[in-house]
Amino acid sequence: MTRAEQLGRLVMAAEPRPFWLDQRGAPSARAPLRGEAAADLVVIGGGFTGLWTALLAKESDPERSVVLVEGHRVGWAASGRNGGFCDASLTHGAANGRERFPAEFATLQRLGAENLDAIQIALDRHGIDCEFERTGSIGVATEEYQVDGLREAAENSGATFLDTAGLRAEVNSPAYLAGVWDKQGAAMVQPARLAWGLAAACERLGVRIFEGTPALGLSGEADGVAVRTRDGVLRAGQVALGTSAFPALLGRLRPYIVPVYDYVLVTEPLSAAQRAEIGWRSRQGIGDSGNQFHYYRLTADDRILWGGYDAIYHFGRGIRAAYDQRPATFATLAAHFFTTFPQLEGIRFSHRWGGVIDTCSRFCAFFGTARRGRVAYALGFTGLGVGASRFGARVMLDLLSGEPTELTRLRLVRSKPVPFPPEPLAYLGIQATRWSLARADRRDGRRNLWLRALDAAGLGFDS
Ligand SMILES: Cc1cc2nc3c(=O)[nH]c(=O)nc-3n(C[C@H](O)[C@H](O)[C@H](O)COP(=O)(O)OP(=O)(O)OC[C@H]3O[C@@H](n4cnc5c(N)ncnc54)[C@H](O)[C@@H]3O)c2cc1C
């Protein structure tokens, strides 16, 4: 059997579903909405964005009636199937933030740090056990050309630069050349437990949650907005949209988002000997520095979650359950896993899955209102929304309040990304970009004409 066939078999033996959701103690389904209901605020979407919006709305005004509708199950989509890196960055990393929002970058970093602290405090306050570990994260260089970039990042941010020996003393991989350890800027969470815990906290404060309730359309009324659902109608004073990569209920938002699939493997729990072999005592989240990057971390029971690299777009903004599985990507991920940790040869993978990301061309969320200020949205987190979704929720509530606030004055909040073109240009452009990014990774990071033209136009593609 060839190595490729061996890896193919290895990954296909794993359970084809998200490890995080495949747990004892998952909540049972909530009833759908049937008939009519009314609320001051209707939140659409039961991922982190919607859940934080409902929770913060109730916390700030307990008298406000809040209903959350979820088309399927709370936390089933990106929120329950991600890597669990809860990052302070609101801008998909410091480099992207500094480049796109130079004048307010320091403010965004402060707001991001406050947001992560506030998440930690909220978990304590509501008794949400989601295996939160404030480990920080390490960005690693596996190619010589990446080392200077990391050194510069450490100098700019005050994070700790680790040379080869220093990094390998933390986490033992022969692939590592250097790293930068941000000790405060990230926590690891069990994301499905976070979503379930937020939903339970919402309900304790009086939020009504309906699952199996897709919202099909919005229409303006004299004193609010009517939300048509599959089996009923909700009369809302205000509406907050946290619908992520799924078709936006406001048609004008659709060009801003493309659904992109990202994939993950999880190993069986490491033995004590395997654990000792790789070190990793401080349990940091790790990401490497290529355009096509991997992210990986330990779970509470000492498995390794290993994801990223391929970012797959399907023609026509396709979203389908079948896309959650991609054997070729799983085999690639497994090959890269064993290059990074050859000491773990022989370990098995217990779970494999994919999920859809709301990619926008600036890689961080955008915000706004519609229907005379009664509908707010926060979309486009592009693969870094576990922490930033709480900030997005605050922005939506501030926008709905109608009062200018520190958040609503931000350029991040007032500006929009460049929209993607219609098909077939979107598909062709994304394939050209993916091809160019892979090529740059093979050629010491050198960006070709296509990537440089996109850079100049402020356009990009990422996961
Ligand atoms: C594989 C993978 C790995 C990732 N890793 C990380 C990571 O490590 N760190 C990080 O920060 N981010 C990561 N992300 C991204 C992160 O998961 C998302 O940014 C975040 O969960 C977005 O939350 P959300 O609530 O906006 O979207 P979602 O969790 O997608 O929730 C949107 C919800 O809206 C519902 N919905 C949509 N339309 C309707 C409608 N019309 N009516 C009713 N309901 C509707 C959907 O059913 C869904 O439940 C990853 C994503 C994936 C897929």
Q: 80-129: per-residue pLDDT in tens?
A: 999 999 999 999 999 999 999 999 999 999 999 999 999 999 999 999 99
Closest approach atom of ligand 1 to CA 386: 11
- Using the Cα atoms of residue 315, residue 91, residue 393 and residue 292 in order, give the sign of their dihedral: positive
The strand pair at 312-313 and 186-188 is best described as unpaired
Name the residue of 51, 246, 358, 390 whose CB sits within 8 Å of the most ligand 1 atoms, as the mutation to test its pocket: 246
DSSP character string of 86-127: EES-SSSSHHHHHHH-GGGHHHHHHHHHHHHHHHHHHHHHHT
Residue 208 C-beta-side C-alpha neighbours within 13 Å:
16
Closest approach atom of ligand 1 to CA 72: 47
Confidence of residue 235 (pLDDT cuts 50, 70, 90): very high
CA 155 to ligand 1 centroid distance, Å:
33
Q: What is the pLDDT of residue 63?
A: 98
Closest approach atom of ligand 1 to CA 249: 41
Using DSSP, state whether 339 is helix, strand or coil.
helix
Length of the chain: 463
Distance CA 65, CA 259 (A): 32
Query: Exposed e or buried b for every residue in 446-460, given b needs 16+ CB within 10 A?
Result: ebeeebeebeeeebb
CA 162 to ligand 1 centroid distance, Å:
33
User: Mean pLDDT across the stretch 243-249?
Assistant: 97
Query: Exposed e or buried b for every residue in 332-353, given b needs 16+ CB within 10 A?
Result: bbbebbbebbeebeebebbbbb
Question: What is the rounded average pLDDT for all residues in the chain?
Answer: 96
Distance CA 320, CA 245 (A): 12
**Residue recorded with tokens 């990202």:** 262
Name the residue of 43, 68, 79, 262 whose CB sits within 8 Å of the most ligand 1 atoms, as the mutation to test its pocket: 79
Query: Exposed e or buried b for every residue in 313-324, given b needs 16+ CB within 10 A?
Result: bbeebeeeeebb
User: Mean pLDDT across the stretch 48-67?
Assistant: 98
pTM: 0.97
Q: Which residues line ligand 1 (CB under 6 A)?
A: 44-50, 69-72, 76-79, 81-85, 87, 214-215, 242-244, 246, 249, 262, 264, 295, 307, 355-357, 381, 383-387, 389
User: Mean pLDDT across the stretch 17-42?
Assistant: 96
Pick the closest to residue 200 from 284, 102, 297, 122 (CA basis). 122
